[in-house]
Amino acid sequence: MAGYYIVKQGDYVPGLAHRFGFADFLKIWDHPKNAELKGKRQNPNVLLPGDSLYIPDREQGLYSRPTDKKHKFVAKRKPLRLCLILRDQYEQPIANAPCILTVGSESHKLTSGSDGRLELVIPPTQDPSRLVILDNDQTPYGGLTIPIKIGYLDPLDEVSGQQARLSNLGYFNGDIDGTNGPEFQMAVEEFQCEHKLTVDGICGPQTQAKLKEVYGC
């Protein structure tokens, strides 16, 4: 039955579409009743707990086929791609690093590119995931395990979303709790200083724009 769903931490539209039986998440995201939320959030993978998302009824497809033959039906799904970029404490790419990326119960052997990038098409899952950098001569980070929380990133205009991005970039070491405290302000100042912005400890529009550029979303 159609109705509004209240977003929880870890929810994102492709994952919710899969949960509610939709092959294409755009059937939800592009629905007119979600126009305001879509305009506000812009990215279907970055929602905020408490957001109200309309889940429409699924449309039943009817196809005429003869009864004396076998028929194959293929459900087309838009691929969901996970992109990770590995950088060291000096913001230099961790290149050519062999890794194992585990998403749910599936493990994948990957090697970071010259820019530290790793990419993988993943299922719309909320299962615990992790990245392990393997020991080898290419990087001093061998053996490092990094937990990956798919769907847990809050929007950029929320303090919690700013904290998470600054944390992943190595500027913020506190709790991702949405509190605009001294430790968070110091992290903002460091980010502003390194990117030649006005250093005031306030994550305003210009700082948010640069944070989005550097982080990628």
Residue 65 confidence (pLDDT): 83
Average of pLDDT values for 81-107? Answer: 91
> Do residue 50 and residue 93 come from a single domain?
no
Residue 126 has pLDDT above 90, yes or no: no
| Beta strands, E only, the chain | 3-6, 52-55, 80-85, 98-103, 106-111, 117-122, 129-133, 145-148
User: What CATH code is carried by the domain that includes residue 185?
Assistant: 1.10.101.10
> Do residue 164 and residue 211 come from a single domain?
yes
Amino acid sitting at position 211: L
Residue pair 93/115 in contact by the 8 Å Cβ criterion: yes
| Closest among 21, 76, 41 to 155, alpha carbons compared | 41
pTM score, whole prediction = 0.85
**Which structural domain range is residue 96 located in?**
80-148
Distance CA 81, CA 60 (A): 28
Look up tokens 């392990």; give the residue. 132
Share of the chain above pLDDT 70, in %: 99
Residue 139 confidence (pLDDT): 75
Instruction: Work out how many domains the chain is built from and give that number.
Output: 3
User: What CATH code is carried by the domain that includes residue 10?
Assistant: 3.10.350.10
User: What CATH code is carried by the domain that includes residue 101?
Assistant: 2.60.40
Q: DSSP secondary structure string, 4-37? A: EEE--TT--HHHHHHHTT-S-THHHHTSGGGHHH
Query: Could you report the per-residue pLDDT of 34-57, keeping only the tens digit for each?
Result: 999 999 999 999 999 999 999 999
Of 124, 148, 172, which marks where a domain is finished?
148
Residue 155 confidence (pLDDT): 97
